[in-house]
Structure 1
Amino acid sequence: MGNGLCRDRVVIVTGAGRGIGRAHALAFADAGARVVVNDVGVALDGSRTGEGPAADVVAEIADRGGTALASTHDVADFDAAQALVDDTVERFGGLDVLVNNAGVVRDRMLVNLGADEWDAVMRVHLRGHFATLRHAGAYWRAESKAGRTPDARVINTSSGAGLLGSVGQANYSAAKAGIAGLTVVAAAELARYGVTVNAIAPSARTRMTEDVFADMMARPDDGFDAMAPENVSPLAVWLGSAESADVTGRVFEVEGGKVSVAQSWRHGPEVDKGARWDPAELGPVVTDLLAKAPAPEPVYGVGG
């Protein structure tokens, strides 16, 4: 099976029934991992479909000689996320890697965005990342305190929309930005327990991106499909392996054959008066600060 980079590691992949999550599950299995394929089975907008994509991916893994378990737990349900972790530990004897990938979209311009559309996206993306991470983190903390220090990994899924913003996706962008923030906090808090936490911001052809990036979705004639979801998974597998122990609190952008490290918010140029500012003083101060700072990256969807 594959290169054995994650041989015998136990991996949960959420939202693994289709797209990038499915590619992750297959890639981890090919690398020797035992995989829990989690997918609640819903349409793109989060409504239930009654389909069984998780079981289909498990069958694919079995056909390739791998070991996998299907899960239909709703990761945004706090108790169900606990059950997902518990079931994994009971079935495979532990947990080494959590890949948070599940998501939905409800795209709409901000002035037309409904509260229910905001809440639905926040629930699956941000709460879904939090709930699984919280319970997996508690498991690893208990293992560490019992003298069995984990060599554990979390790979979260942010987005270029979360890092830079995307017109028509205020809810999705905010949720993905929240995931980037959650990643760096979790990396700081869980390091003492033998856990690294990183995030990837993938760009690939999935149900969630086919409308946003329609002009990039044409399959090429040169044999390399730069938008194939399978291009994202090698980095996820490496981040889930023992080799990545020194990498944590980072966000990586992945598209086709490109991998880059995203630059986070940083302290920039400053002016210290040493006393409270008068509002009338701040115009030229702000102008000077902005002149010294690099220009921000453009928001996706803004014409140049």
Structure 2
Amino acid sequence: MSALCDGRVVVVTGAGRGLGRAHALAFAAEGARVVVNDLGVGLDGARDAKSPAETVVAEIRAAGGEAVAHGGDVATAEGAASLVRTALQTYGRLDTLVSNAGFLRDRMLVNLDEDDWDAVIRVHLKGHFLPLKHAAAHWRAEAKAGRTPVARVVHTSSGAGLLGSVGQGNYSAAKAGIVGLTLVAAAELARYGVQVNAVAPAARTRMTERTFAETMAAPATGFDVMAPGNVSPLVVWLGSAASEGVTGRVFEAEGGRITVMEGWRPGPSADKGARRTPVEAGETARELLTAAREPGPVYGA
């Protein structure tokens, strides 16, 4: 064991199943003490009877690690605040926040109800913002007290947020928003010793059963490309002190592949130095598009 996160206290939201569970177990295996958050809801956000967070905590403890469960709703101010308090009251510190909680309510746009829009934006985007806000307030106080932290935040975006995904307008908008939040947080919090990055994972979870229907089955032998645990090593590294100097970046992670995203970089450009007519603007736009790289295809198109 490399003990990459020995002594660190890590909070993982949505850690009862899938990617979040894999992240929590991977951090614990590297020596971290883990706060396992999960509200305990179904794929559409409805409450489950069981506590998946407690199950993951039991797994970590059975393997000799330290963990505590948190069942609050991180898309509320009190739930997010209590999440940070749980880490501080249980372990006396907070070093890393991994935001991963979310669910789906997929519909084509013309069938997408306002409630379905609001619910998905709330859990994904607000559920990233509020834990970040409360963790950042703690780290800022620490820095101002002369105890500058080596703090890390890892957000969970998606290929749907980077390219779009048919039938997932609410989810794609939320995941794109998370990228914007990541970039702003990286810029604002650097002075307090906080690094903020995002990962767009592809893996076998409850949320991706339909998206990856043709590639979901794990092979009988060999490397299981879609296993959630394949994404966790990058998340653990980003959440460790070893990632010093890496902030404001977005990574794709799937199987054994890691890709650094280059975002909305300026491409071909033309400046007339004066106002164009609409026809001239169209002609220039077409010339620039001819020279530009084609965007990636929308998932499901």
What TM-score, normalized by structure 2, do the two folds share?
Answer: 0.98
Counterpart in the other structure of 2:295: 296
Counterpart in the other structure of 1:224: 223
1:69 and 2:68 aligned: yes
Instruction: Return the alpha-carbon distance in structure 2 between the equivalents of residues 198 and 69 of structure 1.
Output: 25
Counterpart in the other structure of 1:43: 42
CA RMSD of aligned residues (A): 0.9
Give the superposition deviation at 1:69.
Answer: 0.5
Give the superposition deviation at 1:278.
Answer: 2.1
3-state DSSP class of the match of 1:222? Answer: coil
1:236 and 2:249 aligned: no
Q: How does 1:148-167 map to 2 (within 5 A)?
A: 148-167=147-166
Which blocks of at least 5 consecutive residues in structure 1 are unaligned?
A: none
Give the superposition deviation at 1:86.
Answer: 1.6
Instruction: Return the alpha-carbon distance in structure 2 between the equivalents of residues 263 and 167 of structure 1.
Output: 23
3-state DSSP class of the match of 1:267? Answer: coil
1:263 and 2:256 aligned: no
Structure 1 window deviating more from structure 2 (275-284 vs 21-30): it is 275-284
Counterpart in the other structure of 1:198: 197
Instruction: Return the alpha-carbon distance in structure 1 between the equivalents of residues 262 and 164 of structure 2.
Output: 14
Give the superposition deviation at 1:10.
Answer: 0.3
Give the superposition deviation at 1:3.
Answer: 2.0
Give the superposition deviation at 1:279.
Answer: 1.6
Counterpart in the other structure of 2:57: 58
3-state DSSP class of the match of 1:189? Answer: helix
**Stretches (4+) displaced over 4 A:** none
Give the superposition deviation at 1:280.
Answer: 2.7
Instruction: Return the alpha-carbon distance in structure 2 between the equivalents of residues 255 and 273 of structure 1.
Output: 43
Instruction: Return the alpha-carbon distance in structure 2 between the equivalents of residues 132 and 122 of structure 1.
Output: 15
Give the superposition deviation at 1:22.
Answer: 0.3
3-state DSSP class of the match of 2:207? Answer: coil
Give the superposition deviation at 1:222.
Answer: 3.0
Work out whether residues 161 and 176 of structure 2, in 8 Å CA contact, stay in contact via their aligned partners in 1.
Answer: yes
Instruction: Return the alpha-carbon distance in structure 2 between the equivalents of residues 16 and 174 of structure 1.
Output: 23
3-state DSSP class of the match of 1:130? Answer: helix
Instruction: Return the alpha-carbon distance in structure 2 between the equivalents of residues 223 and 57 of structure 1.
Output: 26
Residue-by-residue CA offset, 1:79-128 (whole Å, 9 max, x unaligned)? 21011112211111110000000000001111111111111100000000
Counterpart in the other structure of 1:88: 87
Counterpart in the other structure of 1:177: 176
Give the superposition deviation at 1:252.
Answer: 0.7
3-state DSSP class of the match of 1:265? Answer: coil
3-state DSSP class of the match of 2:154? Answer: strand
Counterpart in the other structure of 2:115: 116
Give the superposition deviation at 1:224.
Answer: 1.3
Work out whether residues 35 and 86 of structure 2, in 8 Å CA contact, stay in contact via their aligned partners in 1.
Answer: no
3-state DSSP class of the match of 1:274? Answer: coil
AA paired with 2:200? A
Instruction: Return the alpha-carbon distance in structure 1 between the equivalents of residues 280 and 206 of structure 2.
Output: 50
3-state DSSP class of the match of 2:206? Answer: coil
Instruction: Return the alpha-carbon distance in structure 2 between the equivalents of residues 156 and 84 of structure 1.
Output: 16
What TM-score, normalized by structure 1, do the two folds share?
Answer: 0.97
AA paired with 2:242? E
AA paired with 2:47? R
Counterpart in the other structure of 2:279: 280
Instruction: Return the alpha-carbon distance in structure 1 between the equivalents of residues 118 and 282 of structure 2.
Output: 38
Residue-by-residue CA offset, 1:147-182 (whole Å, 9 max, x unaligned)? 000000000000011101111111111100110111
3-state DSSP class of the match of 1:208? Answer: helix
